[in-house]
Structure 1
């Protein structure tokens, strides 16, 4: 899988936003310690901007920045053949990954949080979609031969391309090493307001009130 395949399988920007909020909420319930979250969502990341993010604790990460212009996705797989830190890359992104990003998303390309201390963009995958687009876009890339996942897209975006509750349960049971209630996952995926019963089904050591701050940051819908 490459950025090309991910682009074909991603949903619309509003659908992706909802899905990312659900992922962050599930992680907040299953792992209350923010430092151990795999998925996060900051509904006030910047002025008029929201950001969904993933970090696996081993150097791989992605960011989905939602702006007035649309959505910009940056992914980095540290062992990817397209990493700017591979021998011979001279600390530069792989040709084509960022070259065609439109002006509306150049602030995200140049965002210091997405670059290293030498101002090198930390990226192996880049996708974007303006609100006027009818599909996700990417650069024109000649991928390196010899690997089925040259840019790391398969590992990075596993739960963005397979958005089924069953996929999340399989992943979470492996990652958190706990049983995960499928009905509760479906409840959160539907963005229905949380109840004490749903929270307890996922983590019986957590109260709904404990999640108030996290839910506000994520922008998860609350009961009236």
Structure 2
């Protein structure tokens, strides 16, 4: 998930469990001190199970960065994080801003999209039933896309993005 403002979140699902890597560019936890190598803040991944090392230390996470990491192995009952001293700034590690979109509620996404893309929705409200279709895994068609955004014209980029995440489409 990329929010278009420099923040990203990647999730791996495996037989060993699930791991979420987040990068919030405005966070004090942003470890890019120079352009060549990122330093992950102390504690974020210190207790990360080895099953997730390839995900966290490999691409594309390595190139994106890490300001927070959350995981749950198949044996864990609860989600876990490392022992991290969070900065005192308001933005902290950025996890609350990125993770709230994962609550499974189409209304949460609708509200976020209307705020983020406010100029696109000034005259036309984003219809909740269209967002629900996406949440329910409806195959994306050009017609559905144009219902959501009548001004979209880069269908090749959309097709590439949908292929990248494995979302079924007929574009």
**TM, length-normalised to structure 2:** 0.73
Deviation, 1:163, is: 3.1
2:69 paired residue number: 126
Give the equivalent residue in structure 2 for 1:57: 4
Matched, 1:187 2:133: yes
Q: Distance in 2 between matches of 1:115 and 1:79?
A: 18
Higher RCO (C-alpha under 8 Å, 6+ residues apart): 1
Q: Distance in 2 between matches of 1:77 and 1:212?
A: 26
Q: 1:101 to 1:201 in 2, by over 3 A?
A: same
Q: Which residue of 2 aligns with 1:95?
A: 42
Taking a change above 3 Å as real, the CA distance of residues 196 and 84 of structure 1, as seen in their structure-2 partners, is: closer
Deviations for 1:10-45, whole angstroms, at most 9, x for unmatched residues? xxxxxxxxxxxxxxxxxxxxxxxxxxxxxxxxxxxx
Q: How much has 1:114 moved relative to structure 2?
A: 2.0
| Cα offset, 1:182, TM superposition | 0.9
The offset of 1:188, in angstroms, is 1.8
User: Residue 51 of structure 1 aligns with which residue?
Assistant: none
Structural RMSD (CA): 3.2
Count of paired positions: 160
Corresponding residue for residue 73 of structure 1 = 20
In 2: Cα distance, 1:175 partner to 1:112 partner: 28
Could you tell me which runs of 5 or more consecutive residues in structure 2 were left unpaired when the two chains were aligned: none
Which residue of structure 1 lines up, in the alignment, with residue 111 of structure 2? 170
Please report how far the alpha carbon of residue 102 of structure 1 lies from its aligned counterpart in structure 2 after TM superposition. Answer: 0.5
Q: Deviation above 6 Å: which 4+ runs of structure 1?
A: 209-213
Give the whole-Å Cα distance in 2 for the aligned partners of 1:77 and 1:200.
31
